[in-house]
Structure 1
Amino acid sequence: MDSSCKSLLAVVVFVQFCFILWIHSWLMRNTGDEAVEKKYVALHLNDGRMGNQLFHMINGYAIARTIGRIHYLPYEDRFRDLVVQRLKQLERVFPAIKRTYVIDKSETNRTLVKFANKSCCVYDDPKRLLNYDDKYLLLDFAWVQNPRYFEGMIEEVREILEFSPSVVSEGNHLLDMLKLNSSSLGNSHGISFWDRPQQSTLCIHIRRTDFLERNISTNMMDTVVAANDIARGMVSFYLKGTFHDGLFGGGVLH
């Protein structure tokens, strides 16, 4: 092969190599990570107890999912340590909840967006946020307690709020103790208290802390009367969540 042919072949190989590099670069720009920039959305942190933090996590995650963003916890010094402590407690009970958020470790250039009139219970359609191109959005409210944000993803919420094995074990132990204590109340014709037909034990969680701390007047006897009516079978009610159906399952009890 003479020198001219060798030179021509070298040029052809070089052009092919450059073409391959260009194709690879074009594919990366149009189908790779550079084409899909991650975007984030957050709510203000709050100093609420476990129930409010749980609402915050699930609703924040649901809002983010609705608009194709990632739920992040903003860098806000005021409640940061408290929220991190609450999250550790929540994750012990619901391990999967840690997949619903990321923590902002430093100040970011975020865009503050008015949302839900800063109300805990007013519903504001998250889809209106789709028009924002900003990488970080911070919704201007902290208390979010409206289930409409996650009503379209109940099954996923159930999975997120799956109890950890240790909590299930603790719960089973408490139930066993409850059965033991109930049976000690006496037998009827050789049948234990727990195993009697139509016999059960009613547990009621009464939330009074907010009322006491804020000095809101309440009538405790109304709750006692209502509990007794339920226990005697005088009323029917719809129970959201049972041991068999799981969270958000339900049935009519008499």
Structure 2
Amino acid sequence: MVKRKYIAPNAITTANMFFGYLSITSSIKQDFIQAIWFIIFAMICDTLDGKTARKLDAFSEFGKEFDSFCDAISFGLAPGILVYSILMKNTAVNSFIIPVSFIYALCGVMRLVKFNIITVASSEKDDFSGMPIPNAAAMVCSYYLLTDTALFNYLKDTYSIDLFSIDLFMAITVIAAILMVSTIKFKTPDRAFSFIPKKMALPLIGIVIVTLKYSLFILSFLYVIINLIGFLKKVFDGSNDDNDKELVDVIEEIEIEEKKKED
């Protein structure tokens, strides 16, 4: 019998996967803006299921694995299909369509596998080894979402300035993929943006929601810039340690356990 406290967070995680599924169907139908909004809804669910689990003290290994599998669909496969579908409309990049879209999905899944290996289900959120997959999805989606803004249409119609570049779109996708599987330490969003005064948090959240078509792009790339600056500071200060030490230690422990079982 499943305890009641686990129902709410797992239901929200299910909604996350559902929106990811809807995003894939929208990409297949060539409705890219709708596909992006479904991914954004999945991001909201991904945030809420963690907060709900912490509120109810409803952490479990099942919940952690379930969340990762759903994230693989909503932030790995769905953006991958979105990228594939968008690139398919541009015949000049035919040879890059599958490599670019697949490498994003592959790195997303690898990122989640690594996350599951080095973490345990708990109420504490540590810094990440590699960029979190929701932010990778936000980077890819937010750039294309700009094409649905009043500013984009004004510049395009009035001055024939097209802010969207298919080459830059592919570059962002590949960069997002590389950052996910990198060993760069990424702070949790609340730590990365800790310089924002708490009294300004609510007004800023309101502004972000109202201007989401613009703010998602700004926030997702600002998050990357803040963490890369922190990483470079550690490199130049000579204090940068082996960011994959935790992963190596865990893998060694698993190998030791497997050898014990064989003996």
Do they superpose with TM above 0.5?
no
Pairwise TM-score range, normalised by the shorter structure: under 0.3
Higher-Rg member (1/2): 1
Instruction: Give the alignment's TM-score, normalised by structure 1.
Output: 0.25
Structure with larger RCO (C-alpha < 8 A, sep 6+): 2
**Structure with greater proportional helix content:** 2
